[in-house]
Amino acid sequence: KVLEQPMGLSLWGIDEPLEYAPSKVEELLSGKIRPDQIELTPRLQEVSDIICESGREKLIIYSPYVKSLEVIKRCILKEPCSMLIGGCNVTSELERFRSEENRILLMSSAGEEGHNLQIASLMLVLSKPYNPAKLSQLFGRIERKGQSHPMTFYELRSPSLIEARINKILEKKEKLSEKVLAKRVME
């Protein structure tokens, strides 16, 4: 499902990655301001809605930007979650995710490859990888043998010109990649 509505590329509703967003992010992450002092942007509200609507199903939220995941954890989540990011203890985070009380995994690029996460049936992609193979790997985390539930992939997009151009380029790259792979199979 591609969810497209007026919202910026970042969680703060501006057309730049969260890493370059206003100092509000740093104030939140350092504890200078509380999550309840922040008004949710349309993108954060959409993330919140998807989390609420997912019920008790296991959900993976992906972003290459760790700060985006930290903002979601602090501003939106009212329940325990696991974080699969660089430098974490992968084994313990995945064990926590597989447990009964933990249904949400916040995952950065560190989790794109090599993990069997078919326990989840939902994936929310906040920022699509620029490489079609990485996107395929990402979806492959839950689209695996042993998956017993229907899968839903959410992708948040805004109708901004910048994001429209990026998505057009990514679609061209994906089609080209498919043609090259199909040609190799034929040979």
Of the CA atoms within 13 Å of residue 6, those in its CB half-sphere come to: 0
Segment 73-110, tens digit of pLDDT:
888 888 889 999 988 889 999 999 998 888 999 999 88
Q: Which domains does the chain have, with CATH numbers?
A: 2-186 (3.40.50.300)
Chunked mean pLDDT (size 10), the chain, 187 residues: 47 43 67 74 84 90 88 85 91 90 89 81 84 77 75 77 76 82 70
pTM here is 0.74
Question: Which string of DSSP letters, residue by residue, matches 119-173?
Answer: T--EEEESS--SSHHHHHHHHTTTSSTT--S--EEEEEE---HHHHHHHHHHHHH
